[in-house]
Amino acid sequence: MCGPVWMGMFIPPLRSFISVYSKKINHLVFVSCCGSSDEKKDEKFGHGLVFNEVRNILKEKLIFCRAFPIVLVVPEEKRELPEVVMNTRLNDENFKGEIQERFENFIREIHG
C-alpha cells in the first residue's frame, strides 16, 4: 500500500481500509512519500508516527514500512524551509541521487 503522510497523520481513507480489511490482509508493505526527514520521523509531523499506527493495527502482518521523504530532492540549504518542501513534487528531473538509491533498495527488498 502506498499513501501519503499528511502533517504526521495517517489519513482516514487508508486507516479505514486497513481497519476494515485487516482480517483479509495476509501481508502488507506500507510505503509513503512524505515531507518529514528521517531525522524528524518521530517528531509531531513525522512519518514514524504513521508507521507505528500501521504496526499497531496490523501487528505481524506488516512486513515493513518505507518512507521516501521529499526533502531528499530538495537542495540541502532549503530543506528547513516549509514552503519549499510543501511545494516540491517528485518528477523525472529530480528523482535521482539518494531518493533513487532508496527506491532501488526498496525494489530489491520486496523482490527478496
Q: Supply 91's cell numbers.
A: 518528477
Closest CA to 5 of 29, 27, 31, 25: 31
Q: pTM for this structure?
A: 0.87
Q: Read off the pLDDT of residues 78-104 as tens digits, 9 standing for 90 and up.
A: 988 989 988 999 999 999 999 999 999
Q: Is 82 helix (H, G, I), strand (E, B) or coil?
A: helix
Class of residue 67 by CB neighbours under 10 A (exposed 0-12, middle 13-18, buried 19+): buried
What is the average per-residue pLDDT within 68-87? 92
Q: Supply 84's cell numbers.
A: 519549499
Closest CA to 51 of 60, 40, 39, 62: 62
